[in-house]
C-alpha cells in the first residue's frame, strides 16, 4: 500500500467547509423528510385501523406501493420520470422554476417512502392498545374521532416510540441516497473531497464518524422523549 495519509485535509479550507455544508444538507433532507414521514405516516396508519373498509383499503394501497419499491428507484422516478408525465407546464415548473428541485425531490421522496414504514408501526401501535380500550371508549359515548384523540392515539404514540427511533435512524442514513439525484449531502461531499484531494480514506472516515455521532444524538433524544412521556403502570419502561 503506497497510500499517503494526510488527515489535515479534513480541517483545511475549503474541505472543512464542504464537510459542514454536507452535514447541513444531510440534516435538512433528513429533517424535512422526517416531518413529511411523521405526518403522512400517522395519517395512513390511522386509516388502516379505521372501521371504514374504504379507508383501510386506501391505507393498504399506499403502504404496499411505497414499501415495495426500492427507495433508490423511487427517487429516480420522482426526479426523472414524474415531471415528464405531468402536463408540460407543471413539469417545467418542477424542473426549472422550483428553487432547489433536487432537495425537494429527495426530501419528499424519502419522506413518502418512510411514511409507509411509519404507517405500519402506527397501525401496530394502535392495534396493541387492545380492543377493550376501544370498546370502553365507545361505551362511554365517545365518537370514533374522540376515541382516537383521547384514548387510542395517546397510548399508541407511546407504544411506537422505540420502533420510531429506528425509523429516524434509517432516515438519517437513507438521506445519503439524495446524492444520486445531485444533493451534495455528507456522503456526496466526502466523495467530492476524495476526487479533489485523493484523500478518500480520510474523507469517508470523517463522514462515517459524523453519521455515528448524528445517530447517537438521535437515539439520546428519542430516549429522552420516551422517558418524559412514559405513563407509569401502562408501559414497561423501554
Q: Which of 164, 184, 206, 207 binds another protein (CB under 8 A)?
A: 184
Q: Which of 20, 80, 143, 212 binds another protein (CB under 8 A)?
A: 80
For residue 1, state whether it binds another protein (rule: CB under 8 A): yes
For residue 22, state whether it binds another protein (rule: CB under 8 A): no
For residue 21, state whether it binds another protein (rule: CB under 8 A): no
For residue 192, state whether it binds another protein (rule: CB under 8 A): yes
User: Are the C-beta atoms of residues 82 and 74 closer than 8 Å to each other?
Assistant: no
**Segment near another protein (CB under 8 A); pick from 146-154, 163-171, 185-193, 208-216:** 185-193
User: Are the C-beta atoms of residues 75 and 177 closer than 8 Å to each other?
Assistant: yes
- Count of chain residues binding another protein (CB under 8 A): 27
Q: Which of 31, 43, 163, 200 binds another protein (CB under 8 A)?
A: 200
As given in the structure block, the three cell numbers for residue 34 are 422526517
**Segment near another protein (CB under 8 A); pick from 58-66, 80-88, 118-126, 207-215:** 80-88
- In whole angstroms, what is the distance from residue 158 CA to residue 125 CA? 8
Q: Helix H segments across the chain?
A: 15-47, 53-68, 71-76, 82-85, 88-92, 101-129, 131-139, 144-147, 153-159, 161-174, 186-197, 200-229
Amino acid at each position: 500500500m503506497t497510500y499517503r495519509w494526510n488527515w489535515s485535509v479534513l480541517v483545511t479550507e475549503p474541505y472543512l467547509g464542504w464537510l459542514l455544508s454536507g452535514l447541513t444538507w444531510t440534516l435538512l433532507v433528513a429533517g424535512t423528510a422526517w416531518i413529511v414521514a411523521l405526518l403522512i405516516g400517522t395519517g395512513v396508519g390511522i386509516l388502516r385501523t379505521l372501521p371504514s373498509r374504504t379507508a383501510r383499503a386506501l391505507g393498504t394501497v399506499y403502504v404496499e406501493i411505497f414499501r415495495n419499491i426500492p427507495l433508490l428507484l423511487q427517487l429516480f422516478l420522482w426526479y426523472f420520470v414524474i415531471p415528464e408525465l405531468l402536463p408540460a407546464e407543471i413539469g417545467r415548473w418542477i424542473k426549472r422554476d422550483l428553487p432547489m428541485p433536487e432537495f425537494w425531490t429527495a426530501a419528499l421522496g424519502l419522506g413518502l417512502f418512510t411514511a409507509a414504514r411509519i404507517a405500519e408501526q402506527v397501525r401496530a401501535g394502535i392495534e396493541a392498545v387492545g380492543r377493550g380500550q376501544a370498546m370502553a371508549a365507545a361505551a362511554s359515548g365517545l365518537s370514533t374521532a374522540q376515541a382516537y384523540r383521547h384514548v387510542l392515539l395517546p397510548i399508541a404514540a407511546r407504544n411506537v416510540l422505540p420502533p420510531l427511533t429506528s425509523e429516524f435512524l434509517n432516515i438519517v442514513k437513507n438521506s445519503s441516497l439524495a446524492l444520486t439525484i445531485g444533493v451534495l449531502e455528507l456522503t456526496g461531499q466526502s466523495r467530492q473531497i476524495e476526487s479533489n484531494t485523493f484523500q478518500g480514506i480520510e474523507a469517508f472516515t470523517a463522514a462515517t464518524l459524523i453519521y455515528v455521532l448524528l445517530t447517537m444524538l438521535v437515539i439520546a433524544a428519542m430516549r429522552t422523549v420516551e422517558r418524559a412521556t412514559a405513563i407509569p403502570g401502562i408501559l414497561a419502561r423501554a
